[in-house]
Amino acid sequence: MVIYDPRGHTWDSWCALMNELFAPNQLGTAPEEKWQEWGISISGIGYFGNSGIPDTRNFDNWQDWAERLVGIMSIQG
């Protein structure tokens, strides 16, 4: 599975793209200060939950977490 690379995106841009990509799952968007909670909710989507995505609480910023997410999902894909 290919997901959007966060490099060059703001949080709002990347979050909106991910929301579009997974629209059937009604992921929604969140303000940047809630990125960790949003990231935790994405792990509830079956494909992500089964892929061992990293826990957002282990990251200081959304960019590092999202880049790790992209790496894991590109290996799984």
- Residue 49, pLDDT score: 67
Structure tokens at 13: 């841009």
Tens digit of each residue's pLDDT (9 = 90 or more) over 22-65: 888 888 999 999 999 999 888 877 767 677 788 899 999 999 99
Residue 69 · residue 3 · CB < 8 Å: yes
Per-residue pLDDT band at 1 (split at 50, 70, 90) = low
Q: Which amino acid is at 30?
A: A
Residue 52 · residue 43 · CB < 8 Å: no
6 CB-near residues (< 8 Å, 6+ apart): 14, 62, 63, 66, 67, 70
